[in-house]
Amino acid sequence: MKFGIHGKEFDKETIPYIKEVFRELGKRKAEVVVSEAFEDHLKQNRIDIGDISTYAEGDNLDYLDFMLTLGGDGTLLEALTHVGKTEVPLLGINTGRLGFLATTAKQDISNAIDCLFASNYDFDRRTLIQLKSDGLFDGLNFALNDFTILKKDTSSMIVVHAYINGEFLNSYWADGIIVSTPTGSTGYNISCGGPLVLPQSNNFIITPVSPHNLTVRPIVVPDDSELSFTIEGRSKNFLISLDSRFEVVDDSVRLKVVKEDFKAKLVKLK
Protein backbone atom coordinates (compact mmCIF):
# COMPACT_ATOMS: atom_id res chain seq x y z
CA MET A 1 0.00 0.00 0.00
CA LYS A 2 1.09 3.55 -0.72
CA PHE A 3 0.78 6.31 1.88
CA GLY A 4 1.32 10.05 1.75
CA ILE A 5 2.11 11.90 4.98
CA HIS A 6 1.73 15.61 5.64
CA GLY A 7 2.20 17.56 8.84
CA LYS A 8 3.06 20.95 10.26
CA GLU A 9 5.38 22.18 12.98
CA PHE A 10 5.25 20.11 16.15
CA ASP A 11 6.57 20.15 19.71
CA LYS A 12 8.89 17.65 21.39
CA GLU A 13 5.98 15.83 23.03
CA THR A 14 4.67 14.89 19.57
CA ILE A 15 7.91 13.32 18.31
CA PRO A 16 7.26 9.80 19.73
CA TYR A 17 3.89 9.65 17.93
CA ILE A 18 5.42 10.76 14.62
CA LYS A 19 8.10 8.08 14.96
CA GLU A 20 5.39 5.53 15.69
CA VAL A 21 3.60 6.31 12.42
CA PHE A 22 6.74 5.66 10.38
CA ARG A 23 7.57 2.58 12.46
CA GLU A 24 4.11 1.05 12.03
CA LEU A 25 4.09 1.69 8.27
CA GLY A 26 7.63 0.31 7.99
CA LYS A 27 6.64 -2.92 9.78
CA ARG A 28 3.94 -3.44 7.16
CA LYS A 29 6.28 -2.73 4.21
CA ALA A 30 4.19 0.25 3.09
CA GLU A 31 5.49 2.67 0.48
CA VAL A 32 5.63 6.16 1.99
CA VAL A 33 5.98 9.62 0.46
CA VAL A 34 6.25 12.73 2.62
CA SER A 35 5.40 16.35 1.75
CA GLU A 36 8.47 18.53 1.29
CA ALA A 37 7.18 20.95 3.92
CA PHE A 38 6.84 18.18 6.50
CA GLU A 39 10.25 16.75 5.63
CA ASP A 40 11.77 20.11 6.57
CA HIS A 41 10.18 19.92 10.03
CA LEU A 42 11.40 16.34 10.46
CA LYS A 43 14.96 17.37 9.61
CA GLN A 44 14.84 20.34 11.98
CA ASN A 45 13.93 17.94 14.78
CA ARG A 46 16.55 15.40 13.67
CA ILE A 47 14.02 12.67 13.04
CA ASP A 48 15.51 10.05 10.75
CA ILE A 49 12.86 8.56 8.45
CA GLY A 50 15.34 6.74 6.23
CA ASP A 51 15.24 6.69 2.45
CA ILE A 52 11.71 8.01 1.93
CA SER A 53 10.59 9.98 -1.12
CA THR A 54 9.02 13.42 -0.96
CA TYR A 55 6.36 15.19 -2.99
CA ALA A 56 5.90 18.87 -3.79
CA GLU A 57 2.66 20.84 -3.81
CA GLY A 58 1.12 20.45 -7.25
CA ASP A 59 2.41 16.90 -7.78
CA ASN A 60 -0.14 14.33 -8.93
CA LEU A 61 -0.86 12.02 -5.98
CA ASP A 62 -3.47 9.78 -7.57
CA TYR A 63 -1.22 6.73 -6.99
CA LEU A 64 -1.69 6.94 -3.21
CA ASP A 65 -4.03 4.65 -1.29
CA PHE A 66 -4.25 7.02 1.69
CA MET A 67 -3.03 10.42 2.87
CA LEU A 68 -2.24 10.60 6.59
CA THR A 69 -2.08 13.97 8.32
CA LEU A 70 -0.26 14.66 11.59
CA GLY A 71 -1.63 17.76 13.28
CA GLY A 72 -5.08 19.27 13.70
CA ASP A 73 -7.92 20.11 11.37
CA GLY A 74 -5.87 22.82 9.67
CA THR A 75 -3.29 20.23 8.65
CA LEU A 76 -5.96 18.03 7.13
CA LEU A 77 -7.41 21.00 5.22
CA GLU A 78 -3.94 21.75 3.86
CA ALA A 79 -3.45 18.13 2.79
CA LEU A 80 -6.80 18.28 1.01
CA THR A 81 -5.34 20.93 -1.32
CA HIS A 82 -2.50 18.49 -2.08
CA VAL A 83 -4.76 15.59 -3.13
CA GLY A 84 -7.48 17.76 -4.74
CA LYS A 85 -9.61 16.13 -7.38
CA THR A 86 -7.79 12.77 -7.07
CA GLU A 87 -10.03 12.13 -4.04
CA VAL A 88 -7.26 10.23 -2.23
CA PRO A 89 -8.77 9.23 1.15
CA LEU A 90 -7.63 11.32 4.12
CA LEU A 91 -7.10 10.11 7.67
CA GLY A 92 -6.28 12.78 10.24
CA ILE A 93 -4.21 11.79 13.28
CA ASN A 94 -4.84 14.46 15.86
CA THR A 95 -1.58 15.76 17.32
CA GLY A 96 -2.88 19.33 17.26
CA ARG A 97 -5.62 21.24 19.02
CA LEU A 98 -8.90 20.70 17.14
CA GLY A 99 -10.12 17.31 16.03
CA PHE A 100 -13.47 17.70 14.29
CA LEU A 101 -11.91 16.35 11.08
CA ALA A 102 -8.68 14.85 12.42
CA THR A 103 -10.53 12.31 14.53
CA THR A 104 -7.90 9.63 15.20
CA ALA A 105 -6.26 10.05 18.61
CA LYS A 106 -2.46 9.95 18.65
CA GLN A 107 -2.63 7.18 21.25
CA ASP A 108 -4.52 5.01 18.71
CA ILE A 109 -2.04 5.10 15.82
CA SER A 110 -1.22 1.39 15.68
CA ASN A 111 -4.87 0.32 15.77
CA ALA A 112 -5.81 2.89 13.12
CA ILE A 113 -3.14 1.65 10.73
CA ASP A 114 -4.24 -1.95 11.40
CA CYS A 115 -7.76 -0.93 10.36
CA LEU A 116 -6.48 0.56 7.09
CA PHE A 117 -4.62 -2.64 6.16
CA ALA A 118 -7.61 -4.78 7.18
CA SER A 119 -10.07 -2.60 5.16
CA ASN A 120 -11.95 -2.01 8.41
CA TYR A 121 -13.25 1.45 7.48
CA ASP A 122 -15.83 3.39 5.51
CA PHE A 123 -15.54 6.57 3.47
CA ASP A 124 -17.31 9.76 4.49
CA ARG A 125 -17.66 11.85 1.32
CA ARG A 126 -17.96 15.55 2.10
CA THR A 127 -19.21 18.30 -0.23
CA LEU A 128 -16.74 21.02 -1.22
CA ILE A 129 -17.43 24.60 -2.26
CA GLN A 130 -15.82 26.02 -5.41
CA LEU A 131 -14.97 29.67 -6.12
CA LYS A 132 -15.45 30.50 -9.81
CA SER A 133 -13.22 33.55 -10.31
CA ASP A 134 -10.17 33.45 -12.57
CA GLY A 135 -6.69 34.06 -11.23
CA LEU A 136 -7.41 33.55 -7.53
CA PHE A 137 -5.85 31.00 -5.18
CA ASP A 138 -3.48 29.60 -7.84
CA GLY A 139 -6.08 27.15 -9.08
CA LEU A 140 -6.78 25.74 -5.60
CA ASN A 141 -10.22 27.27 -5.73
CA PHE A 142 -12.09 24.90 -3.42
CA ALA A 143 -12.76 24.55 0.29
CA LEU A 144 -14.15 21.95 2.66
CA ASN A 145 -15.33 24.33 5.39
CA ASP A 146 -16.24 27.72 3.98
CA PHE A 147 -15.77 30.67 1.67
CA THR A 148 -15.73 34.09 3.35
CA ILE A 149 -15.78 37.76 2.39
CA LEU A 150 -14.41 40.09 5.08
CA LYS A 151 -13.40 43.71 5.47
CA LYS A 152 -9.63 44.09 5.25
CA ASP A 153 -9.05 46.48 8.14
CA THR A 154 -10.82 47.96 11.16
CA SER A 155 -12.65 50.63 9.18
CA SER A 156 -16.42 50.82 8.74
CA MET A 157 -18.49 47.84 7.69
CA ILE A 158 -18.83 46.69 4.09
CA VAL A 159 -21.87 45.94 1.96
CA VAL A 160 -22.07 42.54 0.28
CA HIS A 161 -24.77 42.22 -2.38
CA ALA A 162 -25.79 38.56 -2.67
CA TYR A 163 -27.56 36.80 -5.53
CA ILE A 164 -28.90 33.26 -5.80
CA ASN A 165 -29.16 31.77 -9.29
CA GLY A 166 -28.89 35.30 -10.68
CA GLU A 167 -31.73 36.74 -8.59
CA PHE A 168 -31.13 39.34 -5.88
CA LEU A 169 -31.18 37.84 -2.39
CA ASN A 170 -30.01 40.54 0.04
CA SER A 171 -27.55 43.35 0.73
CA TYR A 172 -25.59 42.53 3.87
CA TRP A 173 -24.30 45.54 5.84
CA ALA A 174 -21.77 43.72 8.01
CA ASP A 175 -18.13 42.94 8.68
CA GLY A 176 -18.52 40.22 6.05
CA ILE A 177 -20.34 37.01 5.21
CA ILE A 178 -19.62 33.29 5.37
CA VAL A 179 -20.79 30.69 2.87
CA SER A 180 -20.39 27.42 4.73
CA THR A 181 -20.68 23.78 3.77
CA PRO A 182 -22.34 21.41 6.24
CA THR A 183 -18.85 20.31 7.31
CA GLY A 184 -17.94 23.94 8.02
CA SER A 185 -21.12 24.58 9.95
CA THR A 186 -19.25 23.69 13.17
CA GLY A 187 -16.54 26.27 12.45
CA TYR A 188 -16.64 30.01 11.79
CA ASN A 189 -20.33 29.70 10.89
CA ILE A 190 -21.44 28.60 14.37
CA SER A 191 -19.25 31.27 15.99
CA CYS A 192 -21.29 33.87 14.09
CA GLY A 193 -24.67 32.43 15.06
CA GLY A 194 -25.21 30.11 12.12
CA PRO A 195 -26.96 26.73 12.44
CA LEU A 196 -25.44 23.27 12.69
CA VAL A 197 -26.18 21.26 9.55
CA LEU A 198 -25.67 17.51 9.15
CA PRO A 199 -22.93 16.56 6.65
CA GLN A 200 -25.15 14.94 3.99
CA SER A 201 -27.85 17.64 4.02
CA ASN A 202 -27.02 18.99 0.52
CA ASN A 203 -27.07 22.61 1.69
CA PHE A 204 -24.95 25.73 1.94
CA ILE A 205 -25.35 28.26 4.76
CA ILE A 206 -25.03 32.02 4.23
CA THR A 207 -24.18 33.68 7.55
CA PRO A 208 -23.49 37.41 8.05
CA VAL A 209 -20.55 38.42 10.26
CA SER A 210 -21.61 41.07 12.81
CA PRO A 211 -24.50 42.45 10.71
CA HIS A 212 -25.62 46.04 11.28
CA ASN A 213 -29.29 45.02 11.18
CA LEU A 214 -29.98 42.33 13.77
CA THR A 215 -33.03 41.08 11.88
CA VAL A 216 -30.72 39.75 9.14
CA ARG A 217 -30.30 36.09 9.97
CA PRO A 218 -28.40 33.13 8.47
CA ILE A 219 -30.15 31.37 5.60
CA VAL A 220 -29.84 27.76 4.41
CA VAL A 221 -29.96 27.22 0.63
CA PRO A 222 -29.69 24.13 -1.61
CA ASP A 223 -26.09 23.32 -2.59
CA ASP A 224 -27.02 23.11 -6.26
CA SER A 225 -27.55 26.89 -6.13
CA GLU A 226 -25.17 29.34 -7.79
CA LEU A 227 -24.32 32.13 -5.35
CA SER A 228 -22.72 35.36 -6.55
CA PHE A 229 -21.53 38.47 -4.73
CA THR A 230 -20.38 42.02 -5.30
CA ILE A 231 -18.78 44.14 -2.58
CA GLU A 232 -18.66 47.83 -1.79
CA GLY A 233 -17.29 49.92 1.04
CA ARG A 234 -15.08 52.87 1.93
CA SER A 235 -12.01 50.73 1.46
CA LYS A 236 -11.55 49.39 -2.07
CA ASN A 237 -9.79 46.21 -0.94
CA PHE A 238 -11.34 43.23 0.82
CA LEU A 239 -10.30 39.83 2.11
CA ILE A 240 -11.70 36.59 0.74
CA SER A 241 -10.83 33.14 2.03
CA LEU A 242 -11.20 29.47 1.22
CA ASP A 243 -10.80 27.62 4.51
CA SER A 244 -7.61 29.14 5.98
CA ARG A 245 -6.21 30.54 2.68
CA PHE A 246 -6.67 34.28 2.12
CA GLU A 247 -6.42 36.65 -0.85
CA VAL A 248 -7.01 40.39 -1.25
CA VAL A 249 -9.45 41.54 -3.96
CA ASP A 250 -10.77 44.95 -4.98
CA ASP A 251 -14.36 46.06 -5.43
CA SER A 252 -14.35 45.36 -9.18
CA VAL A 253 -14.35 41.59 -8.70
CA ARG A 254 -17.54 39.54 -9.00
CA LEU A 255 -17.38 36.41 -6.92
CA LYS A 256 -19.34 33.27 -7.68
CA VAL A 257 -19.48 30.03 -5.65
CA VAL A 258 -20.98 26.66 -6.51
CA LYS A 259 -20.69 23.07 -5.37
CA GLU A 260 -17.40 21.50 -6.44
CA ASP A 261 -17.49 18.58 -8.91
CA PHE A 262 -15.43 16.30 -6.64
CA LYS A 263 -15.59 15.59 -2.91
CA ALA A 264 -13.31 15.17 0.08
CA LYS A 265 -13.08 11.51 0.98
CA LEU A 266 -12.52 11.15 4.72
CA VAL A 267 -11.67 7.80 6.27
CA LYS A 268 -14.08 6.70 9.00
CA LEU A 269 -12.70 3.80 11.03
CA LYS A 270 -15.28 1.25 12.11
Residues 6+ apart with CB under 8 A from 95: 7, 10, 14, 17, 18, 70, 71, 72, 106
- Contact in structure between 146 and 178 (CB atoms under 8 Å): yes
Q: Phi, psi (5° rounding) for residue 56?
A: -105, 155
From residue 169, how far is each of 162, 226, 263 by CA, in Å?
Answer: 5, 12, 27
Distance CA 140, CA 245 (A): 10
Q: Strand, helix or coil at 53?
A: strand
Interior CA angle at 121 toward 144 and 7, to 5°?
Answer: 50
- Is residue 261 part of the annotated active site? The answer reads no
Give the DSSP H/E element, type plus range, for residue 168.
strand 167-174
Catalytic residue among 73, 146, 223, 243: 73
The residues near 28 (Cβ < 8 Å, ≥ 6 apart) are 1, 113, 117
What is the torsion angle, in degrees rounded to the nearest 10, for the CA atoms of residue 92, residue 25, residue 15 and residue 186? Answer: 0
Angle formed at CA 71 by CA 67 and CA 77, multiple of 5 degrees: 60
Residue type, 209: V
By annotation, the residues acting in catalysis are: 73
